[in-house]
Amino acid sequence: TISAGQIQAFVHRLATDDSIPTVERTAGLLVALYGQPATRLVRLRVDHVTINGDEVTLRLGRHRVELPPVLAGLVVELVCHRRQRGLAAPAVNPWLFPGGHPGRPLTAKWLAARITTHGLPVAELRAAALLGLAAELPAAFLADLLGISAGTAVRWTHAAGGEWARYAATRARTSSR
């Protein structure tokens, strides 16, 4: 298993190390922060991204998630600098992580391997991220937010020891301040 310190160090490295390609930095942060599997990342399209001034959102499930500044900057770079990277316009190549063949995304296997070469195995990184999120969020919210099945979210919530009552009580305490 991966420790919280290892995840934190990996996230810091992805956020700050410009020698890592933007694709791997962006995908790695999406796995580490939101528990997204490589199979879902490669299906993300440019139209899943909304840029509104400094606010950048990404639709992961049914809802849009506001991205933290560093990740937002990386996503904007992927979306806005397509021509500099020799990519077709989104109408022709709609993928956020476009592959080497026109109109096709990267493969999940390639993307996971590239992230892994920079530090941590994707499957373990995703599991650690989901455990952390499941400890803090109710299963229904987690499923809806991240686009995972309700059953999967419940299993992660139970594994993390999270429960609705604790979440509701915490929200009530923090919102009354």
* Four-residue CA torsion sign, 91, 62, 52, 74: negative
Residue ranges of the chain with pLDDT lower than 70? 82-92, 162-177
CB-side exposure of 129: number of CA atoms within 13 Å? 23
CA 30, distance to chain mean position in Å, is 2
Helix, strand, or coil (residue 98): strand
**Residue 152 token pair:** 């999967």
**Hey, which bits of 46-159 come out as E strands?**
49-52, 55-59, 64-66
Tokens linked to 2: 């991966």
As given in the structure block, the two tokens for residue 16 are 């700050």
Digit-coded pLDDT (tens) for 111-150: 999 999 998 889 999 989 888 888 888 888 888 888 788 8
The order of strands in the sheet holding 64-66 is 49-52, 55-59, 64-66
pLDDT of residue 165: 43
Rounded CA gap, 31 and 25, in Å? 10
Q: Which pLDDT belongs to residue 63?
A: 82
pTM: 0.83
Radius of gyration of the chain (CA): 17
Long-range contacts of 50-55 (CB under 8 A, 24+ apart): 51/76, 51/79, 51/80
CB 104 within 8 A of CB 114: no
